[in-house]
A = this chain, B = another copy of it.
Amino acid sequence: MQFLKSIAAAGLLSFTVAFPAIAGTPAEDIEAANKAFADAYNAGDAMGVAAKYTEDAGLLPPDGKRVDGQEAIASFWKGAMDGGLKNLTLRSVEVDSREDLAFEVGAFTLDAPGEGGSITTVAGKYIVVWKKGEDGVWRLHRDIWNAGAAE
């Protein structure tokens, strides 16, 4: 019996270690998801970025039409990568949640290619509506941003 208890405890421990991202508060989980988002973007992995969104997610990019669904979202971010936008950083400013829905206000920077090989760092702000799946993972559900300081 003691042996079974040890196995169960070890199993629980493994489970906790295997899913660190869903063990925290919504704010902690979303911060971890943002880090994974930026890592995927900066590795040029557009599909990996799109996988952070819900299946029926919608992007609302400045000066563009709404972009719906993971496939179109992957194409959108591939376009940004191909356009030379690099070194994405994301920073949560605030998160508030109810049940499986959260909103986040955040700040981002991106390095954009300028004239004569120069680099301009563009700063902006965003609101992301996050939705928690039945698997306990928070995913971007609606995503809108514009230029200018978040604070």
Contacts and interface: CB of A to CB of B under 8 A. Distances in A.
Interface in A94-116: 96-101, 103, 105
A112 to B, nearest CB: 15
Q: Is the interface of A mostly helix, strand, loop or mixed?
A: strand
A146 B99 contact: no
Contact of A127 (B101, B129, B151): B129
A127 B146 CA distance: 12
Contacts of A147: 62-63
Contacts of A62: 62, 146-148
8 contacts: A60-B105, A60-B148, A66-B151, A96-B101, A97-B101, A103-B142, A144-B146, A146-B146
